[in-house]
Structure 1
């Protein structure tokens, strides 16, 4: 599930991605919608966005796993969660592409509020997942390995 939030007046916004609806027992994992949404809203407000002006565009919620039980249809549960969350928080949804049985590639331009979503074919989904996993590892390495600039901080 991807949620794009932005303040149209300041051009401040961002996008999150979460895998599971609701929250974890600890409430600190961004894999869960509740924490991912709060992190996004907070980050936008820290950059000058106003919570009362936020607008949302949401994407995903597809049944990308072949499961028989609707209870195990995590995509539909994610879509239901984000719609209820945004309604409860008073954040209007100005665009959405939810459901189906394929993943989506989403690009978002917070300064304009423009979002683009492309449905992926099966082989594209696998490639995007591999690229995102690789990118995540690279980000973790950047954070974990500070640059060696000859300066030691204490």
Structure 2
């Protein structure tokens, strides 16, 4: 977050004009840690500590969100996705190895 704020300022943005909207943090997979809840608490706390106004948020729950965002105006449209089946930790599988011959180390 600090890197993002610093980059905005490098590009001429004024910190006093920054505004935020926060979305996400759903518990998409039952049986796993509450990382979404922790992330939600982090972002709200971070914005408060940095003095950045949070104009709105939609955090938590158990379903995915689909967002459309217009940066020039700050307008956001959100659709709560109820069509995705809930997964459990035991249902999640690692993707098949589809890599090429490039190895990073």
Question: So what's the TM-score if we normalise by structure 2?
Answer: 0.71
Residue aligning to 1:61: 25
- SS across alignment from 2:30: coil
- When the two chains are superposed, the root-mean-square deviation of aligned CA atoms in Å is 2.1
State how far apart, in whole Å, the 1-side matches of 2:10 and 2:77 are: 25
State how far apart, in whole Å, the 2-side matches of 1:122 and 1:77 are: 25
Q: Give the one of 103, 113, 126 matched to 2:64.
A: 103
State how far apart, in whole Å, the 2-side matches of 1:106 and 1:39 are: 23
Alignment gaps of 5+ in structure 2 = 87-105
Question: So what's the TM-score if we normalise by structure 1?
Answer: 0.50
Deviating beyond 6 angstroms after TM superposition, the runs of 4 or more aligned structure 1 residues are: none
Query: Which structure ranks higher in relative contact order (CA pairs < 8 Å, sequence separation ≥ 6)?
Result: 2
The structure richer in strand per residue is: 2
Q: Give the one of 61, 64, 77 matched to 1:116.
A: 77
Give the drift of 1:122: 4.5
Residue aligning to 1:74: 35
Residue aligning to 1:47: 11
State how far apart, in whole Å, the 2-side matches of 1:49 and 1:113 are: 15
State how far apart, in whole Å, the 2-side matches of 1:105 and 1:40 are: 23
State how far apart, in whole Å, the 2-side matches of 1:115 and 1:46 are: 25
1:58·1:98 contact (CA, 8 Å) conserved in 2?
A: yes
How many residues align? The count is 86
1:56·1:91 contact (CA, 8 Å) conserved in 2?
A: yes
